[in-house]
Amino acid sequence: MIIFVIMKIRTVEWGIISYEEAWKQQTRMFDTLISAKEKQEPYDNCIILCEHPHVYTLGRSGKAGNMLLTDDELKKIGASLFHIDRGGDITYHGPGQLVCYPILNLEDYSLGLKEYVHLLEEAVIGVCAYYGVIAGRLDKATGVWLDGETIKARKICAIGVRCSKYVTMHGLAFNINTDMKYFSYINPCGFIDKDVTSLSLEIGKMISMDEVKQRLNIELRNLLTKK
């Protein structure tokens, strides 16, 4: 039996795209990869990079009470709320935030789900280091944090993934030049005692989104090809 597996990683840039449209497109790609894998047909693994208009997403295990605004109040700030099929609680997406949706067959990289989430965190930690920002992890809290084990703990990147038959969708939301006031309308990722931050806040200037996209793409590819 010949198994046709192509481990090429294709980078796809969607620019600014509505969350609903991005969800539809990545779902189609996710389903297509699973189908190709099951039929032993060729496929590409993909790294999707984009930004979204103002939107809040609530994961499967999220609590509705972590959204602090009513529907009318959401409309006033030009935002919407989506219930979505990823792990994690509530988070915010908006302009100036880099969103990355890797659609990968983890078996191509000998990765389990926990290892994969660790890899996503490691990629963002690497990007932060490139800009001179020391980032890391917080025990029992997914994502990337600064000063994670102190009272100054603040989150710079949220992570929530869906995985079926070792194929992934959803991914990470990395605050670059994000308008942080939008986080004040939620309990980010369910936390009420921890802050959020952005890369531009930490280094004191705006950053080229194209440059950060390139750095994140490099970090992810390097980590995946090391596996």
Find out whether 133 and 203 touch, Cβ atoms under 8 Å: yes
> 155-201: per-residue pLDDT in tens?
999 998 999 999 999 999 999 999 999 988 887 655 555 789 999 99
Per the listing, tokens 């531009």 go with 200
* pTM for the whole structure: 0.90
Q: Could you tell me the domains of the chain?
A: 9-226 (3.30.930.10)
- Which DSSP state fits 118? H
Q: How many CA atoms lie within 13 A of 122 on its CB side?
A: 14
Whether the pLDDT of residue 61 is over 80: the answer is no
**152 residue type, one letter:** K
- Helix (H, G, I), strand (E, B), or coil: what is residue 28? helix
Burial of 17 (0-12, 13-18, 19+ CB in 10 A): middle
> 95-123: per-residue pLDDT in tens?
999 999 999 999 999 999 999 999 999 99
Indicate which residues carry an active-site annotation. Answer: 189
pLDDT tier at 4 (50, 70, 90 boundaries)? very low
Find out whether 96 and 197 touch, Cβ atoms under 8 Å: no
| Whole-number pLDDT of residue 1 | 32
